[in-house]
Structure 1
Amino acid sequence: MKKFMNDAEQFLSESLAGFVAVHADVVALGEGGLYVSRAAPNKAKVALISGGGSGHEPLHAGFVGTGMLDAACPGQVFTSPTPDQMLAAANAVGGAPGVLFIVKNYSGDCMNFEMAAELYEGKIATVLVNDDVAVEDSTWTTGRRGVAGTMIVEKIVGAAAEAGKSLDELKALGDRVVAATRSMGVALTSCTVPAAGKPTFTLGEDEMEMGVGIHGEPGRRRVKLTSAKTIAGEMVEAIVADIAKSGVTGGPIILLVNGFGGTPAGELYLMAEMARTDLAARGFTLARMIVGNYITSLDMAGCSITITAVDDALLALWDAPVKTAGLVWG
């Protein structure tokens, strides 16, 4: 294993120190390094807080800033943050309008965010993200995993929070975006957790893991490597078949092609083109497309495809200005 690090136990704290130093105009490190918050919190609005194990950067700390999150709680690599982190973040950025937790559907995250919500003394609600269509029940989850669609939820709900929407309105909006979002991933290589020092799993030179999770959890099946068009087609087919259960069989969508950290940009754009043409042939209108490394898995080579069915109101929220370390426009 070759990684830039000093000591595995200090990897997170030293990485966070560098992150907040580089982006000091946007974020600040909370007391004791328990959370990352906006450099200038706004307690007059509903506060959005998310978090999870590190190793998925820029998720979640990279999405703290104007138009998205108010705070994020980073755990150790692929390890849920603790309830005291979440409670400290809520107390630091939450005000009278309330706090909304945005939680990926992993057992540790769900349990710890639920404990923090019970301890928090103000108004609070939770949106649970479960966009992965690969498997219904898997390692670390009961039900579908929360993966790359989390970024879309945080962006759309974050814009509405910035516009002054109430806690109840934001909770309903978040649930609506989750219901309209589906994702699936594929891995060409494993990732290596710094503390482990070896790959999480092993793939042959001619193998890929279809439906892999963002922590390297098993997917639907291990298969031989094939063309980008065939890979994208299988992923799109699974996504479209699942979202059709909610009555979505065409119309305008946001398409996100997300890299897992070890895939060159050219390959991601190629996968985006394969997904775009497949979805267009199925009657979907590509209202917006975004390609890049947003919800990574350390150094894993692979990608995920996410679609979110949208209307004019959701598109307006997606297009609203945002300024974070990981996402900037407007």
Structure 2
Amino acid sequence: MKLNILALFVSTVEAFNGVGIPQHSKRVLRVAPANQSVYKLDSISEISNHGACAKYCKTEPCLAFSYTTDNSTCVTYSRFFEESTHAEISQLTSYFNRVINHCADLIGYSSGVYKIGTDGPIVYCDMDTEGGPWTVIQRRTQGDVDFYRPWSDFKNGFGDVNGDFWLGNDCLHLLTNVSKILRVELEALTGERGYAEYSNFQVADESQNYKLFVNGFSGNLSFDSMAYSNDCQFSTPDRDNDKSIPYECTQHTKSSWWLNNCVEAQINGIFRKSVVDAQVMRWSYFPDPSVRYQPLGTTKMMIR
């Protein structure tokens, strides 16, 4: 699912649970043809309206529901409805997707792609990694997505949330409005795996050039590479905000990142396996703690 091609035609409906807390759902006007019956959970008759129907889709495993007016029937489903601009708008049945505010709302579900909030981003929720659920904000496994890109791309996000991608700096700011825990997972070309966790991770807004605040290092890596980027602004090839005096770090490292003078956590660097230098995708002193530059095979950044 590409980050920049989703166009939804939606309206919002609020139903209320027994204690008066709003349970948000989003109407899907044009439902893509699919065998949704495979994911049917329950069918409830004699329901007065779609607001009353929403009360049956407040908790897992319900992700979507439909309400048919001519027979007053509510049907709940364990899968989201997919939007399609080519589908007809149903006159008798209204379709709604449950709104998920955080990946943490999906405890008990499988890892996969979900929409966060009524107007929020499409994200990949990792339910399998220890300590989760996690919201994946960066992943590189194939090298098929170029990460040496301009400011606007990093602002809005790019790539495929099922593959290699950057979620987007605007989204990072919104998701870390309250400080989050960051987990960085690495795999070397030789197969060794490592991870780092940070108890505080927060990204400022664009007016502050998405300045990074990160601390509280733990994990099984020997070197805290993210510490070098703490209190640094984001830099891209067309927006130099690094702290280097002799040269522009984005040009030197071929990387867009929170660059200091220049970078130790070079996980947005060039994805390659042959030439090993300052430009290669790497985490300093991993896997060999005595060697600074070593190419990585995969990276993943997640928050919760």
Structure (1 or 2) with the larger CA radius of gyration: 2
* More helix by percentage: 1
* More strand by percentage: 2
Q: Which has the higher contact order (CA 8 A, sep 6+)?
A: 1
Q: Give TM-score scaled by structure 2 length.
A: 0.29
Q: Give TM-score scaled by structure 1 length.
A: 0.27
